[in-house]
Amino acid sequence: MAKQNTPKIVTKKHIARLERERRQIRLIRGIAIAGVLIVVGLLAYGYLRLNVFALREPVAEVNGETIRTGEWQERVKFQRAQMLNTYNQYAFFQQSFGMDYSQQMQEIQFTLLSPETVGQQVLDRMVDEILIRQEAEKRGITVSAEEVETSIRENFNFFPDGTPSPTVTPTDVSFPTLTSQQLTLYPSTPTPTEAETSTVTPTATGDPSATPQSTSTTAPATPSPVPLPPTATGTPYTLEGFQEEFNTTLEGFAEYGISEQTIRGIYEAQLYREKLQAELTQELQPTDEQVWARHILVETEEEANAIYDQLQAGEDFAELAGELSQDTGSGAVGGDLGWFGRGAMVAPFEEAAFSLEVGEISEPVKSDFGYHIIQALGHQENPLNGTQFEQKKETVFTDWLTAAKEDADITTYESWKQVIPTEPALQAPPQ
């Protein structure tokens, strides 16, 4: 007899158990989905934090204007690329022509191995650029996209309207004849020697009076916009040739995450600097307050006091300089340093020299190089040659920039030290 299927009786207890199982399955599924969503969310947040949010965090604020991490990082990479380009140029000339650039190359290597140094240099430069642009805008100075494009083309030696011919305007440099007082003070020299030229030879003692010294007002080197490779190809004299060269350069920078916008921004900043400097120095005259002086340099204060007493007793300055001065370069010509302007000497020496009346002899003046006895032989406005005049303009501009930074509301955030780019890096030479 066949077995018959007996229908199961579904009890309330059985229904309740099934319902609990369904709820547990739904809960487990919900937890799993939530876990996946959390992981995806964390990954997305991490990506946005690293690639979006972090790049928008400020590294500095200048009068309410923000320098963001991303743009600063691009500029750091650009600076490193510039330094590498310069290093490769030195290496090329050293290998091809036997020129010794080992010291310059070592300095670049040292700087590249100090990312914080490069980062600080770039941050300072970007702060300067903002201050310059803010002042330029106050004065109604603007830089157009067309001017930026022209500057880029000129940097690539592309002149669609022809290469401009430089015009040289000679500077009339004439020194006045000596007064009877000066002839009495220094009869061995018929006319004063113009100081601070390339013919001045530093002495073995490193005497500041024979070597122009850098001061706090010395302008930092202005970066060239875009470095070209050391083995540059032929100058592109057609628009197509220029565009090809420029695009190749952009592709090279793009490998390091440096955008065309950043490159053009660097050109724009340079134009703002040039225009503002021209505005600030438009009434500047090509002359400079200068002193014609001679000195005797010795090691101790006792020696300096003894020489001062000898001079007060009427002994000849030139003879004592030739006999006793440790600055043998100037000592050979009676201690004569020629004419020099402000910023050429270390501060204590300069302050004393400019405060002296013609013919007056200073008491011992201490500097990092020893003790000086200084005599002023002349004090007047002297004409500047073209190079000196450009340096004077740069100094005036740098003085303005220093004052502007002191007056500005500048905030920097130390967090930038944790995100300094180290690329591009100097590659080890092949073995």
In this prediction, what percent of the chain has a pLDDT beyond 70?
A: 75
Asked whether residue 216 carries a pLDDT value surpassing 50, the answer given is no
Task: Give 278's contacts (C-beta < 8 A, 6+ positions apart).
Answer: none
246 or 30: which leads in pLDDT: 246
Asked whether residue 198 carries a pLDDT value surpassing 50, the answer given is no
Asked whether residue 223 carries a pLDDT value surpassing 50, the answer given is no
Range 55-68 average pLDDT: 92
Asked whether residue 213 carries a pLDDT value surpassing 60, the answer given is no
39 or 396: which leads in pLDDT: 396
Mean pLDDT of the chain: 82
Residue 249: φ, ψ to 5°: -65, -45
| pLDDT band of 49, cuts 50, 70, 90 | low
- If you average pLDDT over each of 27-41, 100-114, 178-192, which comes out highest? 100-114
| Whether the Cβ atoms of residue 424 and residue 80 lie closer than 8 Å to each other | yes
pLDDT score of 201? 34
Range 404-429 average pLDDT: 91
Task: Give 377's contacts (C-beta < 8 A, 6+ positions apart).
Answer: 182, 185, 186, 192, 292, 293, 294, 336, 358, 359
Tell me which residue of 150, 176, 76 sits closest to 117, measured CA to CA: 76
| pLDDT band of 55, cuts 50, 70, 90 | low
Q: Is the pTM of this model over 0.85?
A: no
Asked whether residue 363 carries a pLDDT value surpassing 90, the answer given is yes
HEC profile for the chain? CCCCCCCCCCCHHHHHHHHHHHHHHHHHHHHHHHHHHHHHHHHHHHHHHHHHHHHHCEEEEECCEEEEHHHHHHHHHHHHHHHHHHHHHHHHHHHHHCCCCHHHHHHHHHHHCCHHHHHHHHHHHHHHHHHHHHHHHHCCCCCCHHHHHHHHHHHCCCCCCCCCCCCCCCCCCCCCCCCHHHHHHCCCCCCCCCCCCCCCCCCCCCCCCCCCCCCCCCCCCCCCCCCCCCCCCCCCCCHHHHHHHHHHHHHHHHCCCCCHHHHHHHHHHHHHHHHHHHHHCCCCCCEEEEEEEEEEEECCHHHHHHHHHHHHCCCCHHHHHHHHCCCHHHHCCCCEEEEEECCCCCHHHHHHHHHCCCCCECCCEEECCEEEEEEEEEEEEEECCHHHHHHHHHHHHHHHHHHHHHHCCEEECHHHHHCCCCCCCCCCCCC
pLDDT score of 429? 54
The pLDDT tens digits of the residues spanning 102-136 come to 999 999 999 999 999 999 999 999 999 999 999 99
pLDDT score of 100? 93
- If you average pLDDT over each of 202-206, 298-302, 382-386, which comes out highest? 298-302
pLDDT score of 126? 97
Asked whether residue 143 carries a pLDDT value surpassing 70, the answer given is yes
Asked whether residue 192 carries a pLDDT value surpassing 80, the answer given is no
Range 349-376 average pLDDT: 96
Find the angle CA(56)-CA(62)-CA(65) to the nearest 5 degrees: 50
The pLDDT tens digits of the residues spanning 270-287 come to 999 999 999 999 999 999
Range 203-207 average pLDDT: 40
CA distance 42 to 56: 19
pLDDT score of 379? 93
Range 301-326 average pLDDT: 96
| pLDDT band of 51, cuts 50, 70, 90 | low
The pLDDT tens digits of the residues spanning 228-257 come to 444 444 454 688 889 999 999 999 999 999
Asked whether residue 261 carries a pLDDT value surpassing 90, the answer given is yes
